[in-house]
């Protein structure tokens, strides 16, 4: 029950979308495009949102979290905000195995959504989609941003496919998989978190990071789903390796609000990605 209450916000993400139509399901609307990509896991969906009144200077890819209790749509709203805040084409990828609010499905298996779907097959599928988009759009600068489970996958992409991104942004990352599962088991009082299961842990792959590609880590001070110590452990391991890694614990932010409009804008301003 606790986990349900904590993750319920990941479905609505506190963005008050109840009053906002699901524009991303209506392909007659301008300013975005729904794309499908063939990968080893099957067809994968991505929604591409284009900036208004600007020539795109970069690509910003957003990868959503695990969303264990509902079909994720918040990635589309966030990508629309990213396109408005930056001069970037914003891309929201629907992770393998997930359905969205439009009834669309990215083929694959989303597993138990306890980190067991952080697999090499999923990482390879995401990399394939991003590579194809980069080639088709012809934009040289790419930023990959992930939230929660999407942040873990963003870290894994940085480790296995360092050529994909010029920089990575991780928000609320469960970057130490074993420690996160232990934390969630205590938080939710659900013994299933201690069951044997697979999944790749980003903290174990820091030796594969490109030392010249920056990684920016953000976590809310009040995040109880992916507590700050998980981000700190990844930061310290990557820093010890010599990677360009920077971490910020945002006061007053929790697991959901870390990707609110206000915090997104602040992050993009700090990184020089916001519109001038």
CA dihedral 176, 169, 199, 226 (to 10 degrees): 50
Residue ranges with strand state E in 50-102: 58-63, 88-93
pLDDT digits (tens, 9 = 90+) for 205-231: 999 999 999 999 999 999 999 999 999
Kindly indicate the confidence band of residue 2, based on its pLDDT and cuts at 50, 70 and 90: very low
pLDDT at 18 over 60: no
Exposure string for 107-142, b = 16+ CB within 10 A, e = fewer: bbebbbbbbbbbbeebbbbbbbbbebbbeeeeeeeb
pLDDT at 8 over 90: no
pLDDT digits (tens, 9 = 90+) for 60-86: 999 999 999 899 999 999 999 999 999
Q: Taking a C-beta distance cutoff of 8 angstroms, is the pair 120, 143 a contact?
A: no
pLDDT at 58 over 80: yes
pTM of the model: 0.93
Q: List domains and CATH numbers for the chain.
A: 29-270 (3.40.50.1820)
Kindly indicate the confidence band of residue 20, based on its pLDDT and cuts at 50, 70 and 90: low
pLDDT digits (tens, 9 = 90+) for 192-209: 999 999 999 999 999 999
Backbone angles phi, psi at 180, to 5 degrees: -65, -45
């Amino acid at each position: 029950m606790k986990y349900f209450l904590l993750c319920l916000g990941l479905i609505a993400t506190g963005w008050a979308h109840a009053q906002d139509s699901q524009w991303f399901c209506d392909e007659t609307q301008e300013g975005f495009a729904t794309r499908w990509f063939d990968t080893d896991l099957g067809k994968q969906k991505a929604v591409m949102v284009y900036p208004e009144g600007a020539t795109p200077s970069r690509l910003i890819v957003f990868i959503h979290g695990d969303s264990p209790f509902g079909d994720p749509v918040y990635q589309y709203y966030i990508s629309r905000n990213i396109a408005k805040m930056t001069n970037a084409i914003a891309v929201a990828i629907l992770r393998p195995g997930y359905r969205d609010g439009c009834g669309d499905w990215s083929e694959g298996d989303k597993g138990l959504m306890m980190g067991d779907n952080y697999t090499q097959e999923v990482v390879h599928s995401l990399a394939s989609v991003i590579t194809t988009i980069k080639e088709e759009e012809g934009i040289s600068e790419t930023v990959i941003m992930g939230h929660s489970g999407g942040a873990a996958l963003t870290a894994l992409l940085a480790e296995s496919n360092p050529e994909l991104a010029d920089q990575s942004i991780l928000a609320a990352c469960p970057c130490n998989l074993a420690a996160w599962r232990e934390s969630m088991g205590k938080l939710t009082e659900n013994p299933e978190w201690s069951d044997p299961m697979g999944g790749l842990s980003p903290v174990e792959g820091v030796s594969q990071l490109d030392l010249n590609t920056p990684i920016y880590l953000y976590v809310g001070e009040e995040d109880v789903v992916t507590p700050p110590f998980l981000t700190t452990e990844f930061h310290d391991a990557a820093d010890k390796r010599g990677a360009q890694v920077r971490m910020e614990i945002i006061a007053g932010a929790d697991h959901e609000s870390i990707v609110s409009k206000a915090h997104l804008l602040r992050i993009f301003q700090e990184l020089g990605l916001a519109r001038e």
